[in-house]
Structure 1
Amino acid sequence: MDWRTWHDQYDRPDSWMTHRLTAVQTQIRAVLDSSPSGPLRVISLCAGQGRDLLEVLADHPRREDVRARLVELDPRNSAFAEETARSAGLDHVDVVTADASLTDHYAGMAPADLVLVCGVFGNIADEDIERTIDSCAQLCRTGGAVIWTRHRAAPDRVPLICEWFEGRGFELRWLSDPDAGFGVGVHRFTGEPQPLVTGMSMFSFVGYDVLKRASPQAGDV
């Protein structure tokens, strides 16, 4: 899978990816709007080109309050995100070209006010989805939010993902309509964050194309 050209679908106004991006951005704005005054920390796993967060921050009233770390393995996508952040004057945004599954890359940022896990759950095995949700209790502060995505093709894991979050002290705040053509969820953390365990891998990024070959019913990211 060429993850650079995969992002080209965002430039098609009627693509499902564009509609999902709009939904994610709407929820990011809602979280920022409702966050308490003062500094805010944002973490983005497998950030891609960072369009979800960076396009919101560009004109958001809280932009100067936000310190963000975007972790993305593909250097072409991380370069795109870096250029976008610099062009928008977002000096408190760090773009790290690295394996986003490694907890070490979030040291000094966790627990964060907002954790983005977008484009991840459709590319990893079920046991790694659950392990990543476990880690969200380390990455997210009390009262903070996790925004995540997952396709709704069979097998539809969205209900199970919600169960896993809720079993770890997260409260569902918003979920996209089942017929939207994509899944976007927002969970707010009501528990006490656990200390970040460094040196740990949360998941193995398999890729939805590989998962789809292994299970013909699997859908997109």
Structure 2
Amino acid sequence: MDWVDWHGAYADPSSSLSRRLTAVREQIRLALDAAPPGPIPVVSMCAGDGRDLLGVLTDHPRAADVTARLVELDPTLAERAREAAAALPAKVEVVTGDAAQTDAYAGAVPARLALFCGVFGNISDADVAATVAAAPEFVAPGGVVVWTRHREEPDLVPRMLDWFAAAGFEPLFVSAQDAGFGVGAHRYAGPGHALVPGRRLFTFQR
């Protein structure tokens, strides 16, 4: 998969990818709106060029409170994210590295907001389940995970909702099955968990 080329679909505002981006940004904005006063740590897994988070930070009133780590393996996309972040009031670190490795997030979690976007549609069901089970290591109690997953058959989202519930999360938003994309947001209602280092959460299948 040429992920730089894949991002070209964003140029069409009517594409499912562009409409998904709008829904993701809305959930990011709501999570930032609800964050308590003070610093807002954010992590983004498989961040691409960061346009989901960075697009919100261009005008969000809490942007200066955000300290974010974006992890992206593709060096071209990572550099685009760095260039876009340079003009923002937020403190944004872009790591060119493997987002599947938990060590990539050491020192940046637990976060108030974790973005698992562009991940779950590209890994096995077992890896989705393992990543959801590890999600409490990424957010502090009360923190939010925003995720994406296509709704093609077999639709995994109903099982994912069960996995998030089992991990201690409560749903805030799940897009309609017929929306043409899948976006969800879950708030963590359980106790704090330390990040387990040296672990691989998933492997991309394409």
Whole-Å separation in 1 of the counterparts to 2:89 and 2:154: 39
CA positional deviation for 1:91 = 5.1
Contact 2:146 2:183 in 1 (8 A): yes
Whole-Å separation in 1 of the counterparts to 2:136 and 2:3: 28
Contact 1:139 1:193 in 2 (8 A): no
Three-state SS of the structure 1 residue aligned to 2:141 is strand
Contact 2:63 2:90 in 1 (8 A): no
Whole-Å separation in 2 of the counterparts to 1:31 and 1:137: 16
Whole-Å separation in 2 of the counterparts to 1:132 and 1:34: 25
* Other-structure match for 1:76: 76
* Other-structure match for 1:128: 127
Q: Give the 3 Å change call, closer, same or farther, for CA 40–203 of structure 1 in structure 2.
A: same
CA positional deviation for 1:89 = 2.8
CA positional deviation for 1:130 = 0.8
* Other-structure match for 1:193: 192
Q: Give the 3 Å change call, closer, same or farther, for CA 143–84 of structure 1 in structure 2.
A: same
* Other-structure match for 1:34: 34
* Other-structure match for 2:93: 94
Contact 1:28 1:56 in 2 (8 A): yes
Question: Are positions 1:18 and 2:18 aligned together?
Answer: yes
Whole-Å separation in 2 of the counterparts to 1:43 and 1:128: 19
* Other-structure match for 2:48: 48
Whole-Å separation in 1 of the counterparts to 2:178 and 2:188: 26
- Match of 1:24, as an amino acid? V
TM-score w.r.t. structure 2 length? 0.98
* Other-structure match for 2:205: 206
CA positional deviation for 1:206 = 1.4
- Match of 2:193, as an amino acid? Q
- Match of 1:166, as an amino acid? A
- Match of 1:143, as an amino acid? G
* Other-structure match for 1:219: none
CA positional deviation for 1:58 = 1.1
Whole-Å separation in 1 of the counterparts to 2:154 and 2:55: 32
* Other-structure match for 1:217: none
* Other-structure match for 2:150: 151
Three-state SS of the structure 2 residue aligned to 1:195 is coil
TM-score w.r.t. structure 1 length? 0.92
Q: What percentage of aligned pairs have identical amino acids? A: 53
Q: Give the 3 Å change call, closer, same or farther, for CA 115–91 of structure 1 in structure 2.
A: closer
CA positional deviation for 1:18 = 0.3
Can you give the 5+ residue segments of structure 2 that lack an aligned partner in the other structure?
none
Three-state SS of the structure 2 residue aligned to 1:206 is coil
Contact 1:112 1:141 in 2 (8 A): yes
What per-residue deviation string (whole Å, max 9, x for no partner) do you get for residues 105-128 of structure 1?
111111100000001000000110
Three-state SS of the structure 2 residue aligned to 1:121 is coil
CA positional deviation for 1:90 = 3.9
Contact 2:57 2:88 in 1 (8 A): no
Whole-Å separation in 2 of the counterparts to 1:139 and 1:203: 15
Three-state SS of the structure 2 residue aligned to 1:203 is coil
